[in-house]
């Protein structure tokens, strides 16, 4: 699946690392990347810390085709993502007229205070990312997409920009569930994985109370012929153990 | 809060990055670290890839006091975490008698097949981590704790080892909810944040349908006197806007 573009996500937020808030955006991003044929290779959750943001943005933007950040672009003192991303690119940052105009049109007369104006600070050379929920824009600089942490806004921003991302061939997924211990499926599945390098296979155990251990076999490839062949072979691995596997919907 | 030891988590699993599975262990680990006075500084989700695991383990074990991994220690071909962590330390790895004995006592006679024996592969010099659920142990090598990805097993392993981790002073948390836009609270809260460097303050917006925008102010410190003072000041910031803030339970 090496012909797919790659992506990485940076979640910026002390509230996630302290266990106060459950992170919600990464799973959604992962599903959207899967839909458009982009391989998400890494997710990092980091602190609201200037140095950590600069270092992480610079490490990941050199490694993957698309970087997405979530969090830290609101109006308060702990919203430092825009400055830090600008610093990572060596770009200047200031209130930009186009971003200010979006906020001015949204807030009632006299309500565009200094804190809100922080949300119009955009690095030099960046393109705005539309926020249909509350107008304060995200931005794209280089291959880095800077988006809100609030899930409804993150999702709306991603929805608006995803058609602009070049994807590769879509990853196709097939799922077999077999009521057999994963350790007994293991040798046969490993042989398929080795013989078919274009297919990536994961095996995940489960336990049904009163019935016993089973395993979900997830087969993934951009090559449908290879995938079908691997699926047929995986069925035979289960049948050789006296188990009729059930094909499940991949989602 | 610099006197607290630090931790990082490495989640190993293609099923998370493809969006198939929602990650569940990081949030739990974050909450446990918070309880024992350890500061979780980073979470990384990476692929089932030998090179990625080696590089990430080596980067993070040099940066923090405790590293925790989840995933990739089962019996199938895609379970490559133990080998990769051994490689990160330059340690040899083989089936170890103490780990084999745990599995032999658990599985019925004749059921300890080659795949299951993979779960007894332990790097040279590592200590076993107890798995009260299904016996296949995790292990600790250096400051890296290698644990299962299945949440019930991850949680049980962490529960068993957490008392052995040296924590620092506990972080205390106070939470104020104010029915005012975060942008109006921002200047006053920023002033508290600047004046009280021992207190870390996050401001998180919410929107109540029919009522309007509000913000949750989360104040955190290991110094209870500073925290109480900051809390009192934050109340006054809200009151100056004509809003009586409500103190909430921190969890």
Neighbour-count burial for B25-55, b at 16+ CB within 10 Å, e otherwise: bbebbbebbbebbbbbbbbbbbbbeeebbbe
Report d(CA A148, CA A90) in Å as an integer.
Answer: 22
| Mean pLDDT, residues A64-85 taken together | 96
Q: Which of residues 119-148 of B touch A (CB under 8 A)?
A: none
Does the distance separating the beta carbons of A78 and B205 come in below 8 Å?
Answer: no
Q: What percent of chain A has pLDDT over 90?
A: 93
Q: What is the 3-state secondary structure (H, E, C) of chain A?
A: CCCCCEEEEEEECHHHHCCCCCCCHHHHHHHHHHHHCCEEEEEEEECCCHHHHHHHHHHHHCCCCEEEEECCCCCCCCCCHHHHHHHHHCCCEEECHHHHHHHHHHCCCCCCCHHHHHHHEEECCCEEECCCCCCCCEEEECCEEEECCCHHHHHHHHHHHHHHCCCCCCCEEEEEEECCCHHHHHHHHHHHHHHCCCCEEEEEEEEECCCEEEEEEEEEECCHHHHHHHHHHHHHHHHHCCCCCEEECCC
CB-nearest partner of A183 from B31, B75, B204: B75
The pLDDT value given to residue A2: 55
Report d(CA A23, CA A47) in Å as an integer.
Answer: 13
Q: Which strand ranges, in their side-by-side order, compose the sheet holding B6-12?
A: A127-129, A138-141, A144-147, A66-70, A6-12, A39-46, B39-46, B6-12, B66-70, B144-147, B138-141, B127-129
pTM: 0.94
Phi and psi of B74, rounded to 5°?
-85, -165
Record the tokens describing residue B42, joined without a space.
Answer: 């980073």
Q: What CATH superfamily classification does B6-164 receive?
A: MoaB/Mog-like domain (3.40.980.10)
The pLDDT value given to residue B2: 55
Q: Please tell me if residue B27 touches chain A, with a CB cutoff of 8 Å.
A: yes
Does the distance separating the beta carbons of B17 and A218 come in below 8 Å?
Answer: no
Whether B74 shows a pLDDT value over 80: the answer reads yes
pLDDT in tens, A83-137: 999 999 999 999 999 999 999 999 999 899 999 999 999 999 999 999 999 999 9
| Mean pLDDT, residues B163-189 taken together | 95
Does the distance separating the beta carbons of A27 and B23 come in below 8 Å?
Answer: yes
**What is the distance, to the nearest Å, from the Cα of residue A71 to the centroid of all Cα atoms in its chain?**
14
Interface probe for A, chosen from B40, B77, B180 (most Cβ of A below 10 Å), is B77
Q: What is the mean pLDDT of chain B?
A: 95
| Mean pLDDT, residues A186-198 taken together | 96
Measure in Å the smallest separation between the Cα of A191 and chain B Cα atoms: 9
The pLDDT value given to residue B152: 95
Q: What is the DSSP letter of B242?
A: T
Report d(CA A194, CA A200) in Å as an integer.
Answer: 9
State the ipTM, two decimals.
0.93
Measure in Å the smallest separation between the Cα of A10 and chain B Cα atoms: 9
**B41 pLDDT tier (thresholds 50, 70, 90):** very high
Q: Please tell me if residue A197 touches chain B, with a CB cutoff of 8 Å.
A: no
Q: Please tell me if residue B151 touches chain A, with a CB cutoff of 8 Å.
A: no
Whether B1 shows a pLDDT value over 50: the answer reads no
Report d(CA A76, CA B183) in Å as an integer.
Answer: 7
Q: Please tell me if residue B93 touches chain A, with a CB cutoff of 8 Å.
A: no
Q: What is the mean pLDDT of chain A?
A: 95
The pLDDT value given to residue B207: 86
Same fold, A6-164 and A172-248: no
Does the distance separating the beta carbons of A46 and B187 come in below 8 Å?
Answer: no
For chain A, the domains span: 6-164, 172-248
CB-nearest partner of A202 from B14, B115, B250: B14
**A251 pLDDT tier (thresholds 50, 70, 90):** low
Q: Are A68 and A10 in contact (CB under 8 A)?
A: yes
CATH of domain A172-248: 3.30.70.260
SS3 B8: strand
Element (H, E) at B193: helix B182-195
Whether A1 shows a pLDDT value over 60: the answer reads no
Does the distance separating the beta carbons of B31 and A19 come in below 8 Å?
Answer: yes
Does the distance separating the beta carbons of A75 and B182 come in below 8 Å?
Answer: yes
Report d(CA A212, CA B63) in Å as an integer.
Answer: 42
Interface probe for A, chosen from B106, B189, B204 (most Cβ of A below 10 Å), is B204
pLDDT in tens, A194-246: 999 999 999 998 888 898 899 999 999 999 999 999 999 999 999 999 999 99
- End-to-end alpha-carbon separation of chain B, Å? 20
pLDDT in tens, A9-31: 999 999 999 999 999 999 999 99
Whether B127 shows a pLDDT value over 80: the answer reads yes
pLDDT in tens, B163-173: 999 999 999 99
The pLDDT value given to residue B3: 85
The pLDDT value given to residue A250: 80
What Rg, from alpha-carbon coordinates, does chain B have?
22
**What is the distance, to the nearest Å, from the Cα of residue A11 to the centroid of all Cα atoms in its chain?**
10
Phi and psi of A93, rounded to 5°?
-140, 135
The pLDDT value given to residue B140: 98
Residues in B touching A204 (Cβ below 8 Å) = 15, 21
Q: Please tell me if residue A40 touches chain B, with a CB cutoff of 8 Å.
A: yes
């Amino acid at each position: 699946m090496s012909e797919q573009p790659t992506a990485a996500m940076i979640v910026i937020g002390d509230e996630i690392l302290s266990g106060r808030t459950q992170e919600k955006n990464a799973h959604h991003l992962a599903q959207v990347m899967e839909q458009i044929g982009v391989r998400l290779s890494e997710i990092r959750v980091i602190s609201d810390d200037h140095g950590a943001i600069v270092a992480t943005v610079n490490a990941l933007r050199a490694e993957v085709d698309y970087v997405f950040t979530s969090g830290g672009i609101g109006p308060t003192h702990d919203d430092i993502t825009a400055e830090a991303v600008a610093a990572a690119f060596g770009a200047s940052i200031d209130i930009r007229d186009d971003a200010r105009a979006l906020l001015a049109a949204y807030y009632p007369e006299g309500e565009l205070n200094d804190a809100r104006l922080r949300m119009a600070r955009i690095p030099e050379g960046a393109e705005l990312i539309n926020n249909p929920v509350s107008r304060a824009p995200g931005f794209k600089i280089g291959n880095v997409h800077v988006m809100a942490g609030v899930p409804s806004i993150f999702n709306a921003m991603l929805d608006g920009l995803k058609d602009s991302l070049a994807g590769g061939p879509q990853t196709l997924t097939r799922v077999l569930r077999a009521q057999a211990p994963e350790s007994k499926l293991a040798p046969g599945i490993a042989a398929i994985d080795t013989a078919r390098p274009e297919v990536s296979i994961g095996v995940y155990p489960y336990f049904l109370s009163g019935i016993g251990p089973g395993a979900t076999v997830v087969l993934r490839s951009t090559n449908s012929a290879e995938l079908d062949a691997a699926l047929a072979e995986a069925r035979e691995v289960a049948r050789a153990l006296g188990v009729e596997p059930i094909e499940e919907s991949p989602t």
